[in-house]
Amino acid sequence: MCVRQPTFIEFAVFVQSLGDDCEIQSKRSVEVYNVLPKIPLNARWARDGVTVAGGNGRGNALNQLYYPYGLYVDDDENVLIADWGNHRIVEWKPGATNGEVVAGGNGPGKQNNQLCSPRDVIVDKETDSLIICDWVNRRVVRWSRQIRTRGETIIDNIGCWGLTMDDQRSLYVADYEKHEVKRYRDGQRNGTVVAGGNGRGNRLNQLSYPSFISVDRNHTVYVTENGNPRVTKWAKDAKEGIVLASDPNNGNTLIQLFNPTGVLVDQLGTFYVADSGDNDRVMRWSSGATQGKVIAGGFGEGQQEDQLNSPMGLSFDRHGNLYVAEWGNNRVQRFSIESS
């Protein structure tokens, strides 16, 4: 049986019930590093995906996931997943039938060995550590990949949903509550607003519940919003964003999005967006394009190899294979890039 993503109101009620177990700690800046994959303009991906994590129903066993959100594929093709409902980060090695808990997994809570509904995860290659959006705890934590027993709060008092990083090891965080994206450079404690920050809304200088983010090599930030069915990009030092894809009618044509979630941008300026809600697909928009192209899913909500159910986070491996975290199917699918 397929499961739908809860509405914002339903989700807020659920989160409120968890809030007493979570708290805020100290703040600190962070160094990170990211390299965008090189993907040809004429690239195509296999129609059928392969399950690389989960897919055994919703649960807390090591072969299961419970509403996965963000994910990150490292250089060794290990898949790191923000396992939201299990309050943990799990790592699935290539070909593995079980995941391994690498952060959290000690129940929902506020202690330094716990997470509370993590939303996103990336890898800081400089320190070989995970950077995690610990959403209900309203903090960003660093968790060593070598010493996995506890994390360290590096940013607090933030409604963190999505994370990304640029080639200068600056960290970008989407603040769901303040409707803004901030950049944290080395030595900064408070960060700098690089998108939104003018209250909730749909004007070009505003965001409405920003969720996932990506950044290109020019330090342009790409943002999806829970409150606006659109993808915007914000050039470095810009005061307003540029709408790349949007439609207020939440449709299913190639110029429309229903509920954009995960977003990635490659070195050619092509962006990829998970279109959740009724569309259950991943779309690709070339730089300057007026419409997108479906590259995964789009065959209705379901559990078949060519179907998706509430896609959330996206990631590429170093070969250009696409990984999709499915909230509704409690799995991660890999769609292999095909030779042109």
What is the Cβ-side half-sphere exposure of residue 105, based on CA atoms within 13 angstroms?
18
- d(Cα 111, Cα 113) in Å, to the nearest integer? 5
Range of the domain at 151: 8-338
**Domain presence at residue 30:** yes
- d(Cα 208, Cα 198) in Å, to the nearest integer? 10
Read off the pTM.
Answer: 0.90
* φ and ψ at residue 13, rounded to 5 degrees: -65, -40
**Domain presence at residue 264:** yes
Nearest CA-CA partner of 284 in 300, 262, 309: 262
**Domain presence at residue 237:** yes
Residue 238's CATH number: 2.120.10.30
- Domain tally, the chain: 1
Cα–Cα distances in angstroms (integers) from residue 50 to residues 269, 309, 321, in the given order: 27, 14, 11
Q: How far apart are the first and last CA of the chain?
A: 36
Query: Quick count: other Cβ atoms within 10 Å of Cβ 289?
Result: 15
Q: Take residue 198 and report the two structure tokens written for it.
A: 């003018």
**Domain presence at residue 2:** no
pLDDT tens-place values along the chain, 340 residues long: 333 344 443 344 344 444 444 443 333 333 344 556 789 999 999 999 999 999 999 999 999 999 999 999 999 999 999 999 999 999 999 999 999 999 999 999 999 999 999 999 999 999 999 999 999 999 999 999 998 899 999 999 999 999 999 999 899 999 999 999 999 997 677 899 999 999 999 999 999 999 999 999 999 999 999 999 999 999 999 999 999 998 777 778 898 999 999 999 999 999 999 999 999 999 999 998 989 999 999 999 999 999 999 999 999 999 999 999 999 999 999 999 996 5
**Contacts for 238 with CB less than 8 Å, ≥ 6 apart:** none
**Domain presence at residue 1:** no
**Domain presence at residue 301:** yes
**Domain presence at residue 322:** yes
Identify any residues that bridge with 50 across adjacent strands, giving them in sequence order. 334
**Domain presence at residue 3:** no
Amino acid in position 165:
M
- d(Cα 148, Cα 163) in Å, to the nearest integer? 20
